[in-house]
Structure 1
Amino acid sequence: MPDAPKTGPFGLNPIRIMILAMGALVLLISIGMFLGGPNAYQALKEANAAATQPTAEQLSGE
């Protein structure tokens, strides 16, 4: 009878691969939440565009 090859304590099996994949997914979601998502990026672009345009006070020379 051949013995099953022993894997070390850090060997990958299907359950550990699934846990690693779930951890990676949680990490991606956390990074997305930290950065504010796509809506925050759109708001940042709009604020940058508004900041580069002169205001009414600047146009009147006051």
Structure 2
Amino acid sequence: MIEFPKLEWRKSSRCANESCVEVAESEGQYFVRDSKVPDLPSLRFTAAEWAAFIDGVKRGEFG
């Protein structure tokens, strides 16, 4: 198992209740988790994968 320093989680600015997506960054890797179950493993993305995701969000690919 890869160990990472303690992550600083941020909630989505669109979070309207306690069911939110949280994101953390460490050493060029991005982590995503569900705030309802923070003890479950998070998803991990490279900087390139995260940039592609953000670009897709901005272009409306997921809506």
Bigger Rg over Cα:
1
TM-score by length of 2: 0.25
Structure with bigger strand share is 2
Structure with bigger helix share is 1
Larger RCO, structures 1/2 (Cα 8 Å, 6+ apart): 2
